[in-house]
Structure 1
Amino acid sequence: MSIRLLAVLVLASAPTAALAQSQAGLAQLIAPQTFSAYLDLRATASDGEKSWLDGGFGKTRYGGEGARLSVGEAAIAWNPYLTSNLDAVVEGEIQPDHDHGARIGEAFVRYRPLPIDGVHIAVRAGLFYPPISQEHEGLFWTPAETITPSAINSWVGEEVKVVGFEVSARKAFGEREIGATAAVFGFNDTSGTLLATRGWALDDVKTNASGRYRLPPLADFMEYVQAEVTNPVRSLDGRAGAYGRLDFKPTARLSLDAVFYDNLGDLRSFRKLQWAWDTRFLGLGATFAIDDNTRLMGQAMIGDTRMGYGDPWVNTGFSSAYLMATRWFGEDSVSGRIDVFSTKNRTDPEYGLTQEHGWAITADYKRKLGRHLTGLVEMLHVESDRPARTDILSEPAQQTQTVVQAALRLAY
């Protein structure tokens, strides 16, 4: 995806922006308060197999490499208000261990008019994540209480970023609240490639406007028809996909949501062995506040992804769920989460074995160290069974991995 296209999307409101500049002046658009910065410094110790980022089937960002110090992420965001109801977000980021150089993470304009009969409406257009994750927040789409998000939202970060047009509406009825979101999008045609060829993973890796991932070793047949890399933000078939979300808050302590996504991929479309995948899923989520300092949060996802001419070469069903509990002690918190995940192979095994099942447990402690500084310590343990490890690499299908890491987050 070109920077020129992003520029067109972000500046789509140029006439309104020009009016805003005449009223408030250019200085307000580039004032210090319109900029935010984020830095994640990481110390990690890990065992187990090679990470998928290094060409293996490992389920975590860091794998089989002992102890290391690194920069988890560095990012800067520009969030100017063009008018009182119109703002823009442009975020640049770098995750040095898997994507060299700075890239555009998100870039969109957002319009939020005054409420109409108590209905709050929001419209955005550009490059962004669909509203799926319950774990992420803020300009930099960062997990709020953990270092590593769930398997579901790890995959969203890796492969579910769109260029789209989204409209949402929300209305409160006392303690009750309902909301609905609908969007059309493109540039997410290869979504599902990682999930089928690698399976689920747990990491805080995020794709960007021109990001690419190296795929794990492929089955013999797939080596001839699938490129060794995948670009999640890419248009191949010219079709528009769609997603919708419903939110319901029956009480002040309980929130429910459901989201359906379908990229409507045309399986006949490809370019340089990058294929359009047909990927769809249904996600359900719930958040329950036990008391003012304790929260339960969970999500479940079920879907399928297909690729190939005629009868698909790849037809993989996937599912995952997690439950997370968080307890706050002032501004500090302790969180625990358990994930389960699986994929099912629905085509001839000669095209490759894509089935797997596994589980993970995560524990985090977060401490506020200063106005702009937060520290986190995390233990992540993953166990998974994937026959492709044996079929392709002659390694045991069953693998176990433990990662202990600490993160120092500086946010301004």
Structure 2
Amino acid sequence: MFRPVALFVGLRFVRARKKNQLMSFVSLISMLGVALGVAALIAVLSVINASTATMRDETLKAVPHAAISLNGSFMGVDQAIERLLAQPGVLGAAPFMQAEAWLRFEGRGEFVNVRGVSAQTETQVLHSPSPQLQDLLQELSGQPDGVILGTRLAGQLGIYAGMQLSVTPLASLLQRQTEDARSFRVLGVADFGFYDNDNIALISLPAAEQLFAADPGAVTQIRLKVDDVFEAAAIARQAASSLDNQPHTVSSWSESRRSLFDALRMEKILTGFMLLMIVIIGAVNIVATLVMAVADKNADIAILRTMGAGRFTVMAVFMIQGFAAGILGTVLGAAGGIALAANLQHITRWFEGAINNFVAPGNVYMIAHLDALVLWSDVLLVCLSALLISLLATLYPAWRASRVQPADVLRYE
């Protein structure tokens, strides 16, 4: 079977037993360095992916996939919802109204976002409705003066189901018109996610229309549920194009929570860049290994040159020799990183048990059980980056090998 000379000789150099034990040790360290860097990158990025997915799910408990505001009165909300539901990618649509208000209970109060919803259709647009929230929405449909609070908001105010509270629109409060305040009865509490449990209150849509009648900024909007949350903005804009030039404004969860997810994305990039330094350190060891290999094989290089091998062939031989360590390290690191990410929950539980058994008996130390989400695009990107760094690390030693002069080496042989 035909094999290029550079590939044949380069693989022979890889398999050859090294007389210099230091060279063998440095070669092993370089391979392990690349493997460690790749494994750490895959595992840490998987943890960040899982954290981002959890935060996204928590955010979508309260934030719509997309929302459309109708600017004008050319088309009714019911007619617009009927058209939107007929568009591809739209799974549900429901009207809502949201505005800021002052919620007061027994001398204590909080500024909250009061959202008026249609109890009959709200469950169709919730990202992951809990049975408790569905029951509360069903109860809200028969209670025009009912209100559902977020868990932390209810805890901060010390409110329980059945208690009465007052709600004053912020616009009226700024104009010192307290007569717009209205009393509501707490139906219960619901989970609106990490970020909205302390500032969300749900009331019925007719009650919201009466409460915010004097607030020009409170308008009825349409909440959409789409089949792909990552394309929510594009799906909503495409669906809104069916409204016959009705003036409208489209917003999505990725826009309303842009600062949060931009920060998470930047954290992932910076963490990946810092961990990539481990791969670069492993690549530096590849440079050291090849420099020693070139010095050790000067005679072999000279013989290859006298047999007709060009400088590019010699350069390719040592690039293959060094690149083999990068390939092996990348493969081992990818396998190790995927295995580590897949078993991360079991590892953290075992580590927590070991600490509590040997360091502080009695379950004193509680360690958060990390979750991991492996994205194959991340694995591919990490592997390609490691291979590219390993390949670049071979260029200088290989170039040095190609500059060896046969006459100078063989003169005293």
Same fold (TM over 0.5): no
Question: TM-score, normalising length from structure 1?
Answer: 0.17
Question: TM-score, normalising length from structure 2?
Answer: 0.17
Which structure shows the higher helix fraction? Answer: 2
Which structure shows the higher strand fraction? Answer: 1
Q: Higher relative contact order by CA 8 Å / sep ≥ 6: 1 or 2?
A: 2
Larger Rg: 2
